[in-house]
Amino acid sequence: MKSSFSTTRPSPIKEYDRRWLIATMSAAKNIQRRMIIRGTWQRLYHSNTPFISKFFVARVDDIWATVIHAENETYGDIIELTHLEEKAEVAKHYKPLEFWVHVAETEPERYDFLSKIDDDSFLDARAFWEGWLKPALDAEKAKETVWARTLPRDGYTFPGGQMYTLTNDLMKRAARLYKENPRQDEEEDVLIARLLFEAGDTWEHIDMPSTMAYDYQARDLLDPGQAWARKGADLTLWEHAVGPGSVNPHKMKKDEDYLKVAACWDENGYLRERPTKPREST
């Protein structure tokens, strides 16, 4: 029997048709969390959704280098930004912009959409693709747009860093503006909006509502020991348990919480009813 944590499944999607990059910001030492991510939403949706998944890390310390490089030889999905220190302040402020500069310089036309996601976020990639990105692509409206949870600050809005998705042109513009004015004193999700605002640029910001993108909190649960919200729970709050419409729950700092949340989905999407028995491995 194949392990339920296998990271590959046969896919009819050709590599050149994978036009959506999902890049998870990760600390080099967080090997276990990367394995959990590979074994949950990345495994579930790789065969039916045209994304490429990568992790980006800062410079790997010598003591970890052999282990991380072996991990990358196995999975081939880690991008190391060797010029950056692996520090919380770097990640909090400008590590994602440095990653966009890297992509803009190495693969400027490879992707139509580019998402940055935190490693404490889960993503129903298929639902987001089918409901949000594919319609924009089909309508030829995949330009100058960001999809994100909307966060307000000082009279303007910015894309929440738990996950935001940029069209290719907007990614390259943000990378260029950051390279021209490498601000490192602003939190990363605010920074991308600030660079665009200060340049006088315009773009479309499509909000991901709180029913869809939210901070997970284990309250108003259907049952203890799992992550489903009880019937009647308010899913419009900033923090809540998993319910219908969920696509991007966030702030699962503990591995156990992440796995409980991930158990609310299968390869077809959100499970509207809790399984009565454990799902079989495939």
Residue 276 has what pLDDT? 56
Residue 282 has what pLDDT? 44
Q: pLDDT digit string (tens) for 149-171?
A: 998 777 678 899 999 999 999 99
Using alpha carbons, select from 159, 156, 244 the residue that is nearest to residue 206. 159
Q: Which residue is associated with the tokens 């991930």?
A: 262
pLDDT bracket for residue 272 (50, 70, 90): confident
Same structural domain, 187 and 68: yes
Compute the average pLDDT of residues 184-205: 88
Is pLDDT of 9 > 60?
A: no
Treating both helix axes as pointing N-terminal to C-terminal, what angle do 168-180 and 95-106 enclose, rounded to 10 degrees?
110
pTM: 0.92
Q: Do the domain assignments include residue 280?
A: no
Instruction: Give every strand in the sheet of 113-118, ordered side by side.
Output: 78-81, 51-58, 20-25, 113-118, 156-167, 145-153, 204-207
Task: Write down the H helix ranges in 9-133.
Answer: 31-37, 43-45, 62-75, 88-93, 95-106, 125-128
Q: Which amino acid is located at 90 in the chain?
A: V
Instruction: Catalogue the long-range contacts made by 187-191 (C-beta closer than 8 Å, 24 or more residues apart).
Output: 187/92, 187/93, 187/161, 188/91, 188/92, 188/93, 188/94, 188/95, 188/96, 188/97, 188/161, 189/151, 189/158, 189/159, 189/160, 189/161, 189/164, 190/151, 190/153, 190/158, 191/93, 191/94, 191/97
Residue 274 has what pLDDT? 63
Same structural domain, 119 and 229: no
Q: Which amino acid is located at 161 in the chain?
A: G
Same structural domain, 171 and 262: no
Residue 151 has what pLDDT? 86
- The secondary structure element, H or E, covering residue 215 is strand 213-216
Residue 4 has what pLDDT? 39
Residue 8 has what pLDDT? 52
Residue 177 has what pLDDT? 96
Q: pLDDT digit string (tens) for 94-148?
A: 999 999 999 999 999 999 999 999 999 999 999 999 999 999 998 887 899 999 9
Same structural domain, 201 and 245: no
Is pLDDT of 207 > 60?
A: yes
Same structural domain, 145 and 228: no
Looking from the CA of 42 toward its CB, the CA atoms found within 13 Å total 24
User: What token pair was written down for 131?
Assistant: 């409901």
Distance CA 95, CA 84 (A): 8
Question: Could you tell me the residue range of the domain that residue 150 belongs to?
Answer: 15-207
Same structural domain, 73 and 189: yes
Q: Do the domain assignments include residue 3?
A: no
User: What token pair was written down for 230?
Assistant: 């009880």
Q: Do the domain assignments include residue 190?
A: yes
Domain boundary among 176, 207, 238: 207
Q: Do the domain assignments include residue 279?
A: no
Same structural domain, 55 and 111: yes
Q: pLDDT digit string (tens) for 49-84?
A: 999 999 999 999 999 999 999 999 999 999 999 999
Domain boundary among 183, 207, 231: 207
Q: What is the dihedral of CA 181, 184, 188, 194, to 10 degrees?
A: -40
